Amino acid sequence: MNYSHLGRTGLKVGRIALGTMNFGELTDEAASLRIMDTALDAGINLFDTADVYGGPQSPDMAKGYGTSEEIVGRWLAQDQSRRDKIVLATKVYQPMGTGPNDKYLSAYRIRRACEASLKRLRTDHIDLYQMHHIDRATPWEEIWQAMEQLIREGKITYVGSSNFAGWDIALAQCTAASRNLLGLASEQSLYNLTARTVEQLLENLKALELKLPDETLAKLDEIWPGPGGEAPQAYAW
């Protein structure tokens, strides 16, 4: 496994992360546990989940599931030594209930979402707490105040972003710097694998060995230019 720094932090993680979005819906618990065992044995140390993972991910979803976090939590509970061998990442933003404050990034939501994730993951801290999407309705000062409080309480170590455009990250970095925070630990430089089976995980581990020539990459961009519209908003829910 090749390791590199996560964003601008001193934390080292494998260039391949284990994504767990399929755990609970497409991959049952027994297979999920085997996948995590295999990933750890292969040197993968970044395990990435989200509060919303574990059920169908659709634009019209009314609430999330929490199943993926629960499966990861039960895997960690099987062997307490595993917790210190991985960098545990999860996310907040998507709806986890049908109430008006059961989604997005208000301080009210962040506090309750973090506490709920900690319970499902059966741990006392989250190593990387990521904003799943950008929330344009909540001021950055409010978001950072909530994150700072969680850091002071030892419940999270790093704050990260997922599905942010470059200009969104820059804006967040500016407000973070004004509050003397380290800023965002973005996962965009990593390969995040949403493996459904152990065999698929082992096959996907070869991704780091693949080097496509520039002309091939250019042709791929020509064949599939993307969905149109601003990224990542065009991909977001």
Q: Annotated catalytic sites, by residue? A: 53
DSSP 184: B
Q: For the chain, how far is it from start to end, CA to CA, in angstroms?
A: 33
Chain position carrying tokens 């904003």: 131
CA dihedral 164, 126, 51, 134 (to 10 degrees): -20
Q: What are the tokens at 116?
A: 């709920």
- Is the separation of the CB atoms in 91 and 114 below 8 Å? no
CA distance 102 to 74: 25
According to DSSP, residue 12 is labeled E
Can you read off the two tokens belonging to residue 165? 């455009």
Token pair, residue 232, equals 């990542």
Edge-to-edge strand ranges of the sheet holding 46-48: 156-161, 126-131, 87-92, 46-48, 16-19, 191-193
